[in-house]
Amino acid sequence: MHPAAPPRRIVAVFAGLSCLLLPLFAHLPKASAATAAYEAENASLYRAAVATNHTGFTGTGFVDYTNVAGGYIEWTVDADTAGSTTIDLRYANGTTTNRPLDISVNGVTVAAGKAFNGTGSWDSWATAPVAVTLKAGANTVRATATTANGGPNIDSLTTATTAAGPGAMAAAPYEYLGWGNPQKPTDVMAATGVKWFTLAFILSDGTCNPKWDGDRALTGGSDQAAINSIRAAGGDIVISAGGWSGNKLGEKCSSAAALAGAYQKVINAYHLKALDIDIEDTEFSNATVRQRVVDALKIVKTDNPGIVTYVTMGTTPTGPDANGKDLIKRGAAAGLANDGWVIMPFDFGGHTGTMGSATVGALDGLKAAVKSAYGYSDDAAYRHIGVSSMNGKTDESDETVTTTDFRTILGYAQQHHIARFAFWSVNRDRACGSGNDADACSGVSQSPYDFTKIVVQYKG
């Protein structure tokens, strides 16, 4: 990115604002099956005991299987609707020996001898996913030790949908209302059929307090008026915090709890179903801040059951760089049931082939990183990744993302049911005029909304 001319992720000043929020949710698509964390210490136990003698657990403790076969932890897990789901078991195994568990749902074994290999120490936690099918309502999930060594230490069970980003939410292009001669969102909706937008950016006002672009109140102005209009027309919004420029909440908030509180203000202001953390530049390059963002999002997921979260980051043509892989690994280690790890496949600094093929290569690398970190199956890994492309010419002279490239990305998304297909930005989804403003046009020959019309075909 180049601060002097960054069409992808910078901030500017919005126009003045007014209007009251009209949260018209009843007619909109359901955001997701509720996700929730169930602490092991609150479950029913047999030949197992609550303990606190190791660090890193959530809640008030964890469960030790006490080195006997047949001990179990049994949770009652609620599901809004019947369907396929992933349950994530957060565990620690300080030995080098596998401590397998039989996992059953409603009395039927769904994973016999599920491996729980060593995590390096009893203070190091990992996540073991298990694909299950739940019925609507209450479900009994039991994890039973199968050897005389007992099971690993278990911290929690988290339910996480394996479905793609739900329905229309999966296709939510970015629009930035502060510059680039933004179109009225309702005009875009009428012209393309798009229902969801990702509105950017929420930043720090210099403290651990969120504002639009860091200088305007969350509610009471044109941002809110635009959101009201989208919802009145039958749509909804994802709000994105971060971006390339400006003061980042991840850096200005000194703890995960404080950062989660800042995110919560945004969620509360607009009764959000989905939140995007666009982590870039110094927020992305600092390991302490990466961990803070992960831990804050875990708090957000706990406090807002069912909310969809995306983490969006830059990438290389072969997938996330070292910082990106570290961020995903930190998410897995923390037990963060993130709905979509999303890459921005442009500004590569060099690539081969078309931008469509380069994007596919980057997505394959992302899928491999998410699969490795979380232990997902191939299918589940695909369903937890996403893409946020850029339409037309990017910051780099050797990069032009065409509608053909977008159709390549659409095919990949449809084949693998990825969580998200977005792009930067609606502002740029039109041909340039005499001004050739890179923030307001694509730089390629096109009709209005050619790129949005491709993205909106993605249904999750």
Asked whether residue 203 falls in the same domain as residue 306, the answer is yes
Asked whether residue 222 falls in the same domain as residue 361, the answer is yes
Q: What is the mean pLDDT of the chain?
A: 88
pLDDT band at 177 (very low <50, low <70, confident <90, very high): confident
* Tokens, residue 250: 């991840």
- Quote the pLDDT of residue 436: 60
Asked whether residue 96 falls in the same domain as residue 192, the answer is no
Give the residue from 131, 161, 191 where a domain finishes: 161
The CATH number of the domain holding residue 372 is 3.20.20.80
Q: CA–CA distance from 111 to each of 60, 64, 164, 273, 394 (Å)?
A: 28, 20, 23, 32, 47
Contact predicate 412/183, CB 8 Å: no
Asked whether residue 129 falls in the same domain as residue 267, the answer is no
- Catalytic residue IDs: 280
Average pLDDT for 16-27: 31
Lowest-confidence range among 21-30, 283-292, 412-421?
21-30
In tens, the pLDDT along 383-434 reads: 999 999 999 999 999 999 999 999 999 999 999 999 999 999 999 999 998 6
Residue 417's domain spans which residues?
A: 167-455
In this structure, is the dihedral angle defined by the CA atoms of residues 250, 254, 260 and 264, taken in order, positive or negative? negative
**Is 179 inside any structural domain?**
yes
Contact predicate 419/339, CB 8 Å: yes
Asked whether residue 295 falls in the same domain as residue 152, the answer is no
**Is 460 inside any structural domain?**
no
Asked whether residue 252 falls in the same domain as residue 157, the answer is no
Lowest-confidence range among 26-30, 100-104, 139-143, 181-185?
26-30
| Number of domains within the chain | 2
**Is 325 inside any structural domain?**
yes
- Quote the pLDDT of residue 11: 31
Q: Token pair 């019925």 is at which residue?
A: 135
Q: What does the CA dihedral 38, 43, 45, 50 come to, rounded to 10 degrees? A: 70
The CATH number of the domain holding residue 118 is 2.60.120.260
Average pLDDT for 208-230: 93
- Quote the pLDDT of residue 160: 59
- Quote the pLDDT of residue 35: 53
Whether 81 shows a pLDDT value over 80: the answer reads no
Whether 294 shows a pLDDT value over 60: the answer reads yes
pLDDT band at 438 (very low <50, low <70, confident <90, very high): confident
- How far is it, in rounded angstroms, from Cα 72 to Cα 77? 15
Asked whether residue 133 falls in the same domain as residue 210, the answer is no
Please tell me the pTM assigned to this model.
Answer: 0.69
Cβ-count burial of 48 within 10 angstroms (0-12 exposed, 13-18 middle, 19+ buried)?
Answer: buried
Asked whether residue 323 falls in the same domain as residue 397, the answer is yes
In tens, the pLDDT along 119-173 reads: 999 998 888 888 888 887 788 999 999 999 999 999 999 885 443 345 679 999 9
Identity of the amino acid at 335: G
Asked whether residue 139 falls in the same domain as residue 185, the answer is no
What spatial distance separates the first Cα and last Cα of the chain, rounded to whole Å? 30
- Quote the pLDDT of residue 164: 36
Asked whether residue 171 falls in the same domain as residue 40, the answer is no
- Quote the pLDDT of residue 306: 84
Average pLDDT for 422-450: 90
Whether 89 shows a pLDDT value over 60: the answer reads yes
Per-position DSSP letters for 338-350, written without gaps between them: -SEEEEE----SS
Asked whether residue 180 falls in the same domain as residue 301, the answer is yes
